[in-house]
């Protein structure tokens, strides 16, 4: 069997009747990203008011330490690091799904208003019910899903078109944003501060309990995304082309919307909205791997790396500990700006 | 396209509605005050408690609504003509975020608590951000509207995050800024309007001056240049006017979204595509929308009030959605 030469080096894995073709560059990029993630994770586990060496961290992780070092690494620092990794990966994939589906690098669950919706739900729980943590999570999930549904229905007109979905989302997002501002305005000062801190997106006080529950949801959602990713790839060619290739476009798109929203909402419910990772990660991944379209695995790795790095900066480098969402906005916004200027310059 | 006679009649009708709303805005509130008392408060001042309410609360509020409305509407019309983007809004260039950030720095870091002090920061912030968006959005082939808008969005997002960081690390600043960030025309003394007013008048004149060239630019840059329009010159003047209007409005009232988006569309439906008429209608329709939203905000949750920025967002988002659901957004 002769292989088609696409003009780039290809890695072919064969096992019996199954063969997998992979481009070399994305594979190498993913490996390097994974190494960077592991390195940064070890660094994050080392750093804190009680400094540890890399050896201590590794032996604590492998069960070689007991007492204080074990508690610090496994009970205190590890949940936060794992949360940053899992949530970052989820955001990266969610952004990749939306950008691929809407064929627009600006399409982002945050821009389209789902984070604002989650925030509204959580605010109502904090301010009106004064609810417990699980109620807050429920409120955020319900708010995000309800917003997504509203945006989808409002943008529906003989099918959903990417551009319309984005603009409707921006409108709904702005409305919810002003509603949120007003809710904070009406609240008592302490409640308002708490709500605003949650709204900025923070990994403070993430415990194993939350990480495990959120992590299981996210793993299930990521697997569903992997199943849907073949249709997603076809749909990038346009709805008609995809349909002619045998993709059932409407159900596939609905599935992708549900998965993408659920990924964002799960993260938002656990940590508050962490902005810009879902917007930036797929784009960085695309540039690093030099792929033609949006790819899921590099996007997830870049998302994890970004989220962990932003949380490290927020905790250890910023003058006062800040919510991670603030750092991602500033870093991601800066990167996005650069990206847009170069894109705009090339196209215009 | 409607004839000049109908356009003029429409303009007169809009003016009458605006005058009626001005009167209503002074009269209506948590306590209804008789028209005769309103008259006396304005022309025969005394120490009466109702007169006090009118002179110190409702009159400034109405004047601020009028001035801010005019500024927001005209800035919206300008930005839509400039970017040829029917979905553009002054907030899109990051002007609101720039002003908010500058005010937060003034209040939180420098401790400027007097509204007369920090309003200048808002003004400067708005100006700097617009210039930044302009500089970042410029390309070798002249300034492109798309790059400019994208630049504004980015700058706005980054400054918004920085403002949030400042507010979260400084509870006092957070508390002081809460009401300003919601966008309201309440509690802004008239002394705040006077320093801004000359800038707004200058901007108004500039806007009228560029309305002709902007008409030509609606046909595309090449055609406009062929007609003798100095493109860079027109853009710079329009952007100066835009910044003064949007920055001034934000300095007084805080960010109020959607007025600048909606009003020019309504103006286009009534007046057709001629920029000078669109500007004239926007100047009248925007304060109508703002004052009506403000009066509505006094009633919906009586006795509590909803800030006018929240009301305009709730009125405006459906308009935006309706616009994008139409087959074709009203052309520019």
pLDDT tens by residue, A42-84: 998 888 878 888 888 888 888 777 788 888 888 888 888 999 9
Paired sense of beta strands A10-15 and A18-23, if any:
antiparallel
For residue B294, the domain's CATH number is 1.10.3470.10
Q: Radius of gyration of chain B from Cα atoms?
A: 20
| Chain B residues inside the 8 Å CB shell of A172 | 317, 321
pLDDT for res B291 = 92
**How many angstroms separate the CA atoms of B293 and B316, rounded?**
11
**How many angstroms separate the CA atoms of B254 and B182, rounded?**
7
**How many angstroms separate the CA atoms of B53 and A21, rounded?**
77
Whether B79 is in a domain gets the answer yes
Whether B11 is in a domain gets the answer yes
* Closest chain B residue by Cα to residue A111: B157
Q: Give me the number of domains chain A comprises.
A: 1
Contact B317, B258 (CB under 8 A): yes
Contact B65, B286 (CB under 8 A): no
Chosen for mutation from A108, A173, A178, A190 (greatest number of chain B CBs closer than 10 Å) is A178
Q: Interior CA angle at A54 toward A52 and A59, to 5°? A: 95
Whether A247 is in a domain gets the answer yes
For residue A175, give the nearest of B154, B160, B313 by CB distance: B313
Whether A197 is in a domain gets the answer yes
pLDDT for res B332 = 41
Whether B332 is in a domain gets the answer no
- Whether residues A174 and B150 touch (CB distance < 8 A) is answered with no
Whether B299 is in a domain gets the answer yes
Residue A14 has pLDDT above 70, yes or no: yes
| Chain B residues inside the 8 Å CB shell of A275 | 157, 161
Helix A296-312 / helix A78-102 crossing angle, nearest 10 deg: 140
Whether B330 is in a domain gets the answer no
| Chain B residues inside the 8 Å CB shell of A168 | 320-321, 324-325
* Domain limits for position A247: 24-347
- Whether residues B141 and A348 touch (CB distance < 8 A) is answered with yes
- Whether residues B310 and A178 touch (CB distance < 8 A) is answered with yes
- Whether residues A345 and B147 touch (CB distance < 8 A) is answered with yes
- Residue pLDDT, tens place only, A296-322: 889 999 999 999 999 998 888 877 777
3-class DSSP state of A7: coil
CA distances from B215 to A143, B42, B240, B273 (A): 44, 42, 18, 8
| Chain B residues inside the 8 Å CB shell of A276 | 157
Whether A77 is in a domain gets the answer yes
Task: Measure CA of the first residue to CA of the last residue in chain B; give whole Å.
Answer: 14
E runs forming strands in chain B: 138-139, 142-143
Bigger pLDDT: A111 vs B249:
B249
Peptide bond into B18 cis (omega under 30): no
| A263 sits in which H/E element | helix A249-271
| Chain A residues inside the 8 Å CB shell of B165 | 200, 322, 326, 330
- Residue pLDDT, tens place only, B118-155: 777 877 887 787 777 666 655 444 445 555 655 666 67
For residue A333, give the nearest of B137, B161, B182 by CB distance: B161
What's the number of CA atoms in the CB half-sphere (13 Å) around residue A139? 23
CA distances from B283 to A196, B179, B194 (A): 36, 26, 19
Alpha carbon of A329: minimum distance to chain B alpha carbons (Å): 6
Whether B151 is in a domain gets the answer yes
For residue A175, the domain's CATH number is 1.10.3470.10
Q: What are phi and psi of A111, to 5 degrees?
A: -65, -35
- Whether residues A167 and B320 touch (CB distance < 8 A) is answered with yes
- Whether residues B161 and A193 touch (CB distance < 8 A) is answered with no
- Whether residues A344 and B147 touch (CB distance < 8 A) is answered with yes
Pick from A238, A93, A161, A221: nearest CA to A247: A238
Contact A305, A37 (CB under 8 A): yes
**Most confident option among A224-228, B166-170, B235-239, B317-321:** A224-228
Pick from B133, B119, B117, B116: nearest CA to B79: B133
Q: What are phi and psi of A113, to 5 degrees?
A: 105, 0
The number of beta carbons lying within 10 Å of the beta carbon of residue B48 is 14
* Closest chain A residue by Cα to residue B177: A185
Whether B103 is in a domain gets the answer yes
| Chain B residues inside the 8 Å CB shell of A341 | 136-137, 147, 150-151
For residue A164, give the nearest of B157, B169, B325 by CB distance: B325
Does this model's pTM top 0.80? My answer is no
Q: Give me the residues paired with residue A20 across strands.
A: A13
- Whether residues A185 and B164 touch (CB distance < 8 A) is answered with no
- Residue pLDDT, tens place only, A134-187: 787 788 888 888 888 888 888 777 766 666 776 777 778 778 888 887 888 777
3-class DSSP state of A151: helix
* Closest chain A residue by Cα to residue B313: A175
The number of beta carbons lying within 10 Å of the beta carbon of residue A21 is 12
| Chain A residues inside the 8 Å CB shell of B181 | 181
| Chain B residues inside the 8 Å CB shell of A197 | 168
- Whether residues A189 and B171 touch (CB distance < 8 A) is answered with yes
* Domain limits for position B15: 4-325
- In sign, the C-alpha dihedral spanning B306, B312, B315, B316 is negative
Whether B23 is in a domain gets the answer yes
- Residue pLDDT, tens place only, A192-227: 777 777 777 778 777 788 888 888 989 999 999 988
For A327-346, the DSSP string reads: HHHHHHHHHHHHHHHHHHHH
Q: Give me the number of domains chain B comprises.
A: 1
- Residue pLDDT, tens place only, B297-320: 888 877 778 888 888 888 877 877
Bigger pLDDT: B20 vs B138:
B20
**How many angstroms separate the CA atoms of A70 and B294, rounded?**
59
Q: Token pair of B42, please?
A: 């304005």
| Chain A residues inside the 8 Å CB shell of B147 | 340-341, 344-345, 348
- Residue pLDDT, tens place only, B77-113: 988 887 776 667 777 667 778 888 888 888 777 877 7
Q: Using beta carbons and an 8 Å cutoff, which residues of A are at the interface with B?
A: 154-155, 157, 163-164, 167-168, 170-172, 174-175, 177-179, 181-182, 184-186, 189, 192-193, 196-197, 200, 275-276, 320, 322-323, 325-326, 329-330, 333-334, 336-337, 340-341, 344-345, 348
- In sign, the C-alpha dihedral spanning A218, A222, A227, A229 is positive
- Whether residues B321 and A181 touch (CB distance < 8 A) is answered with no
The pLDDT confidence band at residue B329, using thresholds 50, 70 and 90, is very low
Q: Token pair of B91, please?
A: 């907030």
Whether A182 is in a domain gets the answer yes
CA distances from B303 to B57, B181, B182 (A): 16, 22, 18
Q: What is the interface size between A and B, counted as CB pairs within 8 Å?
A: 134
Residue A238 has pLDDT above 90, yes or no: no
**How many angstroms separate the CA atoms of A133 and A316, rounded?**
26
Pick from A170, A198, A166, A205: nearest CA to A184: A198
Pick from B83, B222, B140: nearest CA to A345: B140
């Amino acid at each position: 069997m002769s292989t088609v030469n696409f003009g780039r080096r290809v890695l072919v894995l064969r096992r019996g009747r199954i063969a997998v073709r992979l481009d070399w560059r994305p594979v190498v990029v993913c490996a390097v990203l994974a190494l960077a993630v592991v390195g940064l994770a070890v660094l994050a586990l080392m750093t804190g008011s009680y400094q540890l060496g890399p050896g201590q961290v590794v032996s604590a992780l492998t069960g070689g330490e007991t007492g204080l070092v074990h508690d610090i690494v496994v009970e205190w620092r590890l949940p936060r690091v794992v949360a940053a990794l899992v949530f970052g990966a989820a955001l990266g994939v969610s952004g990749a799904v939306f950008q691929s589906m809407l064929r627009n690098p600006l399409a982002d669950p945050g821009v389209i208003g789902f984070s604002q919706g989650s925030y509204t739900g959580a605010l109502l729980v904090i301010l009106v019910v004064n609810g417990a943590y699980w109620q807050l999570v429920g409120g955020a999930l319900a708010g995000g899903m309800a917003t997504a549904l509203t945006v989808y229905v409002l943008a529906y007109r003989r099918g959903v078109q990417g551009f319309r979905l984005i603009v409707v989302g921006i409108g709904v997002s702005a409305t919810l944003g002003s509603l949120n501002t007003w809710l904070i305005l009406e609240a008592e000062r302490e409640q308002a501060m708490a709500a605003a801190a949650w709204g900025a997106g923070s990994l403070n006080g993430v415990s194993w309990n939350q990480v495990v529950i959120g992590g299981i949801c996210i793993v299930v959602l990521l697997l569903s995304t992997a199943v849907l990713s073949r249709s997603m790839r076809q749909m990038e060619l346009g709805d008609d082309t995809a349909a002619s290739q045998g993709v059932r476009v409407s159900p596939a798109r609905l599935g992708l919307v549900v998965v993408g929203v659920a990924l964002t909402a799960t993260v938002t419910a656990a940590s508050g909205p962490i902005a810009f990772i879902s917007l930036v990660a797929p784009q960085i991944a695309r540039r690093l791997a030099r792929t033609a379209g949006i790819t899921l695995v590099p996007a997830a790795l870049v998302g994890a790396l970004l989220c962990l790095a932003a949380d490290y900066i927020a905790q250890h480098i910023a003058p006062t500990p800040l919510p991670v969402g603030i750092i991602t906005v500033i870093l991601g916004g800066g990167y996005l700006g650069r990206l847009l200027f170069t894109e705009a310059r090339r196209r215009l | 396209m409607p004839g000049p006679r109908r356009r003029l009649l429409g303009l007169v009708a809009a003016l009458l509605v605006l005058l009626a709303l001005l009167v209503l805005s002074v009269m209506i509130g948590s306590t209804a005050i008789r028209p005769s008392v309103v008259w006396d408060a304005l022309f025969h001042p005394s120490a009466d408690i109702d007169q006090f309410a009118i002179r110190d609360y409702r009159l400034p509020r109405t004047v601020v609504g009028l001035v801010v409305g005019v500024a927001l509407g005209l800035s919206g019309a300008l930005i839509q003509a400039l970017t040829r983007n029917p979905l553009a809004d002054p907030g899109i260039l990051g002007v609101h975020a720039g002003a908010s950030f500058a005010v937060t720095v003034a209040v939180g870091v420098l401790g400027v608590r007097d509204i007369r002090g920090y309003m200048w920061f808002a003004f400067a912030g708005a100006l700097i951000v617009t210039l930044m968006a302009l500089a970042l959005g410029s390309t070798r082939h002249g300034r492109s509207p798309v790059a400019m808008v994208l630049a504004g969005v980015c700058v706005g997002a980054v400054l918004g995050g920085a403002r949030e960081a400042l507010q979260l690390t400084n509870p006092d600043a957070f508390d002081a800024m809460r009401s300003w960030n919601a966008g309201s025309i309440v509690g802004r003394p008239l002394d705040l309007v006077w320093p801004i007013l000359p800038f707004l008048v200058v901007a108004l004149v500039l806007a009228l001056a560029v309305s002709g060239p902007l008409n030509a630019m609606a046909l595309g840059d090449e055609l406009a240049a062929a007609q003798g329009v100095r493109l860079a010159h027109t853009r710079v003047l329009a952007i100066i006017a835009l910044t003064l209007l949007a920055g001034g409005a934000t300095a007084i009232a805080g960010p109020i979204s959607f007025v600048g988006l909606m009003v020019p569309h309504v103006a286009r439906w009534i007046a057709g595509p001629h920029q000078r008429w669109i500007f004239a209608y926007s100047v009248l329709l925007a304060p109508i929308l703002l004052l009506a939203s403000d009066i509505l905000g006094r009633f919906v949750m009586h006795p509590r009030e909803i800030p006018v920025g929240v009301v305009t967002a709730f009125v405006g988002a459906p308009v935006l959605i309706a616009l994008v659901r139409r087959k074709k957004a009203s052309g520019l």
